[in-house]
Structure 1
Amino acid sequence: MKLHFLLFLVFKMPCLCSGQRDSTYIKPYEHKFSVMTYLAKNFLSMEQQTGTEESKRFMPNNPPNIGLGFSLNNTIVNVSYGQGFNFMREKDKGKTKALDLQIHNYGKKIIIDVFIQKYRGFYTADDDGNNIELYPDLKIQQYGAYGQYVFNNKKFSYKAAFNQSEKQLKSAGSFLIGGGVYFTKIESDSSFVHKEKNSLRNFQFGVSGGYAYLWAINNKWFASASTTVGINVGSERLNTFGKRKIEAYPTLFPRIAVGYNKEDWSIGLSYVSNAIFSAFSDNKNSNVGLYSGNFKLSYILRLDSFDFFGKKKPEKISDQQ
């Protein structure tokens, strides 16, 4: 059984988080302490176009994780611990060894995503999940950092959608601008071939723009969707950038969340995905695209230190829209 432990400190820079919020649109929960249980599945897959109309989707066979976490509001502390459900691994799809650390930090103005992913062992299947082929020698590594600026941060809250530490009282949206940097390394003994080689290295960076919206359906239910599209430029290695042919790659970063909020607890379902292309061949018949992200189902219990001493609890967030 694998154990996954994640401990990270998120520094909330005052210069990025200052500014008044519109209290008719956004209300923070006043509780000082939150406990979260979650079921999550991280992923990293690859799609390679190997012919004019033929493509292969290489999928990992890694199980979901169940975890427990806690956070102290308005501090830099956010800790979680996860245990993999190895018994849920589908045996006919081989075995995947994975190290997958993803940090998605939703600030008021700045959104930061970090990907540290190392996977070995993939499989392919047809649309019906049959004709399974195993690729135990295939290794994919991806390291990336991505940031976005939220223009309408006084009325729109990413926290309300993905952290549920705030409540969006009225529907609102915002334009987004940002960019990222990525390094990818793909290796195999023989199952991966690109430009007559069994390996690929790629460094790229670029800019993107998009839009996000959160629907305050009623006093308790909400739904949110956002997407950014962009263009990156890159080369095989950082030290050869500008010395060899520079290529351009499209990028796509969608996010979806739905949830239900009560004063002391919340439940939410979220999906975050990031698609980048790591290589194009000269004849466009061996394009390589990487898709990473996670699914998460979470339950959050909000507590306040005063609750333990029988003192007055914080006032409830108004349900008036």
Structure 2
Amino acid sequence: MFLIARILKYCKFIFLLIFLLTPFIIRAQVDSTYIQPYEHELSLKPHVYYKYTSLTHEIDDNNEITYMPNSPVSLGLGITYKNYSISGGYGFGFMRDKDRGKTAIFDFQYHYYGRKFIADVFFQQYKGFYTEQNDEVFTLYPDISIIQYGVFGQYVFNNKKFSYKAAFNQSEKQLKSAGSWQLGGGIYYNQVRSDSTLQLNQYKRLRNYQLSVSGGYVYNWIISKNFYLSGGVSVGLNIGSENLSSFKKVEISPSVFPRISMGYNAEDWSICLSVVVNQIYVANSKLLKMTLNTGTMQMSYTKRFSVTPKFVKKIKYIN
């Protein structure tokens, strides 16, 4: 409970910092021949998304087992008014495949795309996984549970010509193709627990704290006036230990963080398909190799309004 309280405290600080800095970051100067902000005050974004955290156990060089959660497809709605946004969604139970077993899920992911900085927050708890054989034969593992808490951030160097907002938020438009180098890092807490399926240790639990340094490149390709394709990847070096205070038994492992987005932008509406994946090692030794794969796939439709609806004006007046 003490660890969870500390994580929540840090997350609250990060959200507050992002909230306070957002208006100033948005006002940063850009090259208007490359980036065009939309002038609409209000936008609505209904979306369909799928979030997951899976565990891959590398048996040897040629064999591995991937344990998947039975995560439902979810429906959500986002609202943006001027420089501030809020969104939420819900995964309905009937959208799960019952043959894949039951998975207890708490999955909070926040992806912030600013002018100069991007940030990702992960707060995830999963219990109950399955593996899939040929012909849709599933083996269930209700004893496996995973916890991952993490914060990741990067600085975008070519922020006057390249726009993450155009690729993933559709709050502005990339007029000409451009890319950028990016540099940053993150901090994670990971835990894998299994009573019988996984041979971890005498405590039947594997946990570690990780610090990462990563860098990469991202590019927005303008295929035509309204179509775009965006892709980028960051590769990192993670240093992990079971004990945060003493940092003994240090393990060094790689990490990969790709992002892909494609879509169509009209003047007052957009449609977008995006995929964000983060892969890190929770164990990387000669005796045991395991990776956590966290991902979000989302299809969204954004409708922008030039005139603020009356109910929004009334809320503004009341406040």
Aligned residue for 2:12?
none
- Give yes or no for contact 2:28–2:115 (8 Å, CA) kept in 1: no
Moved more, 84-93 or 94-103: 84-93
CA distance in 1, matches of 2:136, 2:88: 35
Residues 226-248 of structure 1, C-alpha deviation per residue, up to 9 Å, x if partnerless?
0000101110121231xx22110
- Give yes or no for contact 2:252–2:284 (8 Å, CA) kept in 1: no
Distance 1:16 1:29, change over 3 A: closer
- Give yes or no for contact 1:71–1:79 (8 Å, CA) kept in 2: yes
Distance 1:130 1:285, change over 3 A: farther
Distance 1:24 1:285, change over 3 A: same
- Give yes or no for contact 2:183–2:214 (8 Å, CA) kept in 1: yes
CA distance in 2, matches of 1:94, 1:307: 45
1:34 counterpart = 2:43 = yes
Q: Which letter maps to 1:298?
A: S
Q: Which letter maps to 1:297?
A: M
Distance 1:69 1:82, change over 3 A: same
Q: Which letter maps to 2:192?
A: I
Among 157, 161, 178, the residue aligned to 2:167 = 161
CA distance in 2, matches of 1:219, 1:12: 34
Deviation at 1:119, TM superposition (A): 0.4
Aligned residue for 2:266?
262
Moved more, 232-241 or 217-226: 232-241
CA distance in 2, matches of 1:239, 1:16: 35
1:299 counterpart = 2:305 = no
- Give yes or no for contact 1:210–1:226 (8 Å, CA) kept in 2: yes
CA distance in 2, matches of 1:229, 1:111: 15
Distance 1:289 1:129, change over 3 A: farther
- The count of residues paired between Structure 1 and Structure 2 equals 296
Deviation at 1:15, TM superposition (A): 6.0
- Give yes or no for contact 1:161–1:257 (8 Å, CA) kept in 2: yes
Residues 186-223 of structure 1, C-alpha deviation per residue, up to 9 Å, x if partnerless?
11211122245521011000211100000111111100
Pairwise mapping of residues 59-98 of structure 1 onto structure 2 (< 5 A)?
59-75=68-84, 78-98=85-105
Residues 8-59 of structure 1, C-alpha deviation per residue, up to 9 Å, x if partnerless?
7751516655531000000000001111100001110000123453321000
Among 195, 200, 214, the residue aligned to 1:189 = 195
CA distance in 1, matches of 2:53, 2:82: 31
Aligned residue for 2:314?
none
- Give yes or no for contact 1:192–1:199 (8 Å, CA) kept in 2: no
Which sections of structure 2, spanning at least 5 residues, go unmatched?
Answer: 1-14, 311-319
Deviation at 1:285, TM superposition (A): 4.3
Aligned residue for 1:3?
none
Aligned residue for 2:127?
120
Deviation at 1:73, TM superposition (A): 2.1
TM-score, normalization by structure 1:
0.87
Which sections of structure 1, spanning at least 5 residues, go unmatched?
Answer: 1-7, 309-321
Aligned residue for 1:11?
19
Output the aligned Cα RMSD: 2.0
Residues 44-99 of structure 1, C-alpha deviation per residue, up to 9 Å, x if partnerless?
00001234533210000110101112111223xx2223221322211111011100
Aligned residue for 1:54?
63
CA distance in 1, matches of 2:159, 2:287: 43
Aligned residue for 1:5?
none
CA distance in 2, matches of 1:68, 1:245: 45
Distance 1:44 1:129, change over 3 A: farther
Q: Secondary structure at the match of 1:227?
A: strand
CA distance in 2, matches of 1:218, 1:51: 45
TM-score, normalization by structure 2:
0.88
Q: Secondary structure at the match of 2:258?
A: strand
Among 272, 276, 283, the residue aligned to 1:279 = 283
CA distance in 2, matches of 1:19, 1:87: 45
Q: Which letter maps to 2:210?
A: Q
